A = this chain, B = another copy of it.
């Protein structure tokens, strides 16, 4: 089921700048028992992205009400939000654009095998690198060709691919964020000020670690840091937390902390 600007629809004008330039932002949200999980944080990131692109969207609260109404009868679903700058006259200039376009799509729950959560996943290294663009880093805009190229590199043997920047720093998975537990017990996740998407589930994990009395260190990470880690895991709003059981020919353990974090994610439902 799809709504475009509040009406049930399947199509969008060809002149929408979301298509023409990727001029917009989006969110993917898990819905359980009628409730979109971590909705406030998703809307906060959406809002930050709109601000970074200078897209005026005064209807955020009305959009929130639409979202909640759409989800109320959904026991388990995936919710996708898109807000674009809307249509305008020809050319890159956003000066002549009309009202933003808001899209809300409910679809089936992403049914990944339970084994990914329980036994962990096989992670591969992508050759595609992320460019440094601090103006577009952190939020979830519609310019996602780097992710498409990286995701195209691997098939069913791997469940996720790790992507580095051109400086050799490890940044994230193609659709998830990376966390590293070092052999000394320190927990780290890559700095995302130059590129990458700061996931809402990443934020939840960082907050939950603090609640557990720990701390997550955010700084640049190299491939060596990843290879020498004690444990690795990937997160996003739909998968929750996937432990990594294999990367680059090395096997990783799944420490009890990961089960505690998974249990915390479970309470969101």
| Chain A interface residues toward B at CB < 8 A | 2, 4, 9-23, 26, 53-54, 78, 82, 84-85, 90-95, 103, 105, 107, 110, 128-129, 131-133, 135-136, 141-152, 155, 166, 174-175, 195
Contacts and interface: CB of A to CB of B under 8 A. Distances in A.
A136 B132 contact: no
Kindly list the 5 A-B residue pairs having the minimum CB-CB distance in the complex, ordered from nearest: A11-B11, A22-B22, A131-B131, A143-B143, A92-B151
25 contacts: A2-B14, A4-B14, A9-B14, A10-B13, A11-B13, A12-B13, A16-B19, A17-B148, A19-B19, A20-B82, A21-B148, A22-B22, A22-B143, A53-B145, A91-B175, A92-B175, A94-B151, A95-B152, A131-B136, A132-B166, A135-B146, A136-B145, A141-B145, A142-B145, A143-B144
Given A11-B14, A20-B142, A92-B144, 7 more contacts: A14-B82, A19-B82, A21-B147, A22-B145, A92-B174, A143-B143, A143-B145
B78 A145 contact: no
B132 A128 contact: no
A147 B20 CA distance: 12
A34 to B, nearest CB: 21
A131 B133 contact: yes
A148 B92 contact: yes
B93 A152 contact: yes
A66 to B, nearest CB: 15
The count of identical subunits is: 2
Contacts of A174: 92
Given A12-B11, A22-B145, A110 B90 contact: yes
Contact of A53 (B15, B107, B142, B148): B148
